[in-house]
Amino acid sequence: MTVHLIKLCVGVDALSDLAAWQAQRLAAFERDGRSPELIHVTRQTPKRALEVLDGGSLYWVVAGWIAARQKILELRPVQKDGKPHCGLVYAPELIAVEPRPRRPFQGWRYFDPKDAPPDLAKHSGGEAMPEAMRRELISLGLL
């Protein structure tokens, strides 16, 4: 059974900021001759690793809203300051999801697929709407 992870995206105010930051990071890796990959290092390794790797995604909470997801490709053992950590390696494709409010929390959490918002439908017109406007219309109950 698949399970997802959810994480706050600290220091980012909009999904476009996250996309730009990730693009810059990948470009810097390529310039330096390193393998371009996106990885988030965390202290805890998911105990439900097999379920996460069975099609799980990393859902990003941006400015209090679940905004996007990226498919998790690998859970890699990493050493940081001489201590074991876990590297969440995820796909570069940032998939916008229907925004849903989410309160702050620390670290990452397991995220059940039944609670995950659906992907924002392509060609529905919603992708052209500014993110702040979409959030406001949702909070007013108009979307």
Say what the pLDDT of residue 142 is.
60
Counting residues of the chain whose pLDDT is more than 90, the rounded percentage is 73
How many other CB atoms are there within 10 angstroms of residue 38's CB atom? 17
How many other CB atoms are there within 10 angstroms of residue 34's CB atom? 9
Domain assignment of residue 107, given as a range? 4-139
pLDDT band, very low/low/confident/very high, at 26 (cuts 50, 70, 90): very high
- Between 129 and 58, the more confident residue is 58
The DSSP result for the chain, as a single string, is ---EEEEE-TT-SSHHHHHHHHHHHHHHHHHTTS---EEEEESSPPTTHHHHTTT-EEEEEETTEEEEEEEEEEEEEEEETTEEEEEEEE-S--EEEEEEE----SSEEEE-GGGSPPBPPTTSSGGGS-HHHHHHHHHTT--
Gap between the Cα atoms of 69 and 90, Å rounded: 10
pTM for the predicted model, two decimal places: 0.84
Say what the pLDDT of residue 122 is.
60
pLDDT digits (tens, 9 = 90+) for 79-135: 999 999 999 999 999 999 988 999 999 999 999 999 999 998 764 555 566 767 766
Torsion of CA 14, 116, 58, 54, to 10 degrees: -160
Counting residues of the chain whose pLDDT is more than 70, the rounded percentage is 86
Q: How many domains does the chain have?
A: 1
